Amino acid sequence: MNRSAPRSVDQYLAQLKAALAGEDPALQQDALYDAEEYLRAEIVQHADKSEADVLELIASTYGAPEEVADAYRTTEATVRAALATPAPRRRQSALGRFFAVFADSRAYTSLFFMLLSLATGILYFTIAVTGISVSAGLLVLIIGIPFFLLFLGLVRVLALAEGRLVEALTGTRMPRRPVYPRSAAPWYERIVEMLKDRHTWTALLYMFLQFPLGIIYFVVAVTGLSLGLGLIGGSIFHVLVETGAVNLPPDAQANWSPIWAVPLVMATGVLVLTLLMHLARAIGMMHGHLAKALLVRPAGAVEAA
């Protein structure tokens, strides 16, 4: 559909957003940030020209909104293909597909995310509780409002950092650029925009949720690893003792299970580890969707002029 040439930065961004309709919200956020940063910089460098003249000049160098959108789609597809983990070889049997999870690198990174989430959850929860508590305590003083605004700014920075971690470990596409700070707008308008932006409050909600989720993820991961590896390791140790490779006092073996049960115990350990890997991969996908819902500005959000 033919559109009139944009005469302002806001018109350019609106057309770019329309051209990217239906794309991943994280991709839209990155594209809009890069475009606005470039456009604002060009306007500053050509202070002797009107904004409309600068936009006309940019259209021949940076590209029209539709061209920029196509370029981002192409780049996104190329980067996604380059960063994609190799797909495990397709197994024909159900048993082969069940154990193929051990060949999926995403299952290992998701398991690592589950172990790491307790530390990040404690960090985010501590920052969130401290920031809200101190802000509430300082509201009676004039310093309380600036402190609260700085705290919200920190929340948005942590949201971007968490997004990069989530993308690296779960594979979910997250923003690689923050929401543009809109430095051209007056400071009070930027503050109002940050307070009105749903992304600010959903990011704060994520920081609170990450604490209980981190506990659950960590307990599930540690319990599964301990149980699975313990059963396998115990079975191997039992065989070593029975074959004489390891010597133990006779009374230490009094309550041991019979040797015929060793394969069953080891198979149970392998089953536990396999189920844990499947669960870790599923949790990684689920948490990726949660992070995208709470840490990415919705595609329909309209930036303030």
pLDDT tens digits, 253-291? 556 667 777 789 899 999 999 999 999 999 999 999 999
Q: Supply the pLDDT for residue 118.
A: 96
Tokens found for residue 267: 């198979």
Examine the domain organization and report whether 138 and 79 are in the same domain: no
Give the closest residue to 56 by CA, choosing from 42, 72, 41. Answer: 42
pLDDT greater at residue 244 or residue 127:
127
The pLDDT tens digits of the residues spanning 10-44 come to 888 888 888 888 888 888 888 888 888 888 888 88
End residue of a domain, out of 209, 224, 251: 209
- Range with lowest mean pLDDT among 45-54, 241-250, 288-297: 241-250
Residue 288's pLDDT is what?
94
Q: What does the DSSP 8-state code read for residue 192?
A: H
Q: Are residues 203 and 170 in the same domain?
A: yes
pLDDT of amino acid 215: 97
Q: In this structure, are residues 212 and 120 in contact, taking their beta carbons and an 8 Å threshold?
A: no
pLDDT in tens, 102-149: 888 899 999 999 999 999 999 999 999 999 999 888 888 888 888 999
Cβ-contact 94, 177 below 8 angstroms: no
Residue 51 within any structural domain of the chain: yes
Same domain, 203 and 260: no
126 and 151, same domain (yes or no): yes
Domain boundary among 209, 240, 262: 209
Return the C-alpha torsion angle 69, 75, 79, 80, nearest 10.
40
199 and 127 inside one domain: yes
Domain boundary among 182, 209, 236: 209
Structure tokens at 222: 């540690």
Q: Are residues 136 and 163 in the same domain?
A: yes
Predicted confidence at residue 61, as pLDDT, reads 76
Give the chain's domain count: 3
* Per-residue pLDDT at 23: 86
Contact 56, 5 (CB under 8 A): yes
Residue 98: inside a domain:
no
Q: Flag whether 17 is in a domain.
A: yes
Which domain does 175 fall in, by range? 117-209
Q: DSSP letter at 104?
A: -
Do both 16 and 43 map to the same domain?
Answer: yes
The average pLDDT across 206-223 equals 97
In a domain, 112, yes or no: no
Nearest residue to 270 (alpha-carbon basis) of 218, 245, 235, 220: 235
- Is the pLDDT reported for residue 301 higher than 60? no
Cβ atoms of 194 and 185 within 8 Å: the answer is: no
pLDDT of 213 over the 60 cut: yes
Residues 3-17: pLDDT tens digits? 677 777 888 888 888
Tell me the two tokens of residue 173.
Answer: 């596409």
Does 103 fall in a domain? no
Structure tokens at 258: 């019979």
**pLDDT value of residue 1:** 46
What CA–CA distances, in Å, run from 209 to 77, 222, 264, 267, 284?
32, 20, 39, 36, 15
Query: Residue 249, Cα to own-chain centre: how many angstroms?
Result: 52
302 pLDDT band (50/70/90 cuts)? Answer: very low
Count CB-CB contacts under 10 A for residue 295.
24
* Residue 22 maps to a domain: yes
Does position 184 have pLDDT exceeding 60, yes or no?
A: no
- Joined together, the tokens standing for residue 9 give 């930065």
Q: What is the mean pLDDT of the chain?
A: 84
- Which residues, 6+ apart, have CB-to-CB distance to 127 below 8 Å? 154, 155, 158, 207
Convert the pLDDT of each residue in 54-90 to its tens digit: 887 777 777 888 888 888 888 888 877 766 666 666 7
Average pLDDT value for residue range 86-103: 77
pLDDT at residue 305, as a whole number:
36
Residues 230 and 194 in one domain: no
* pLDDT score recorded for residue 182: 60
What percent of the chain lies above the pLDDT cut of 90?
36
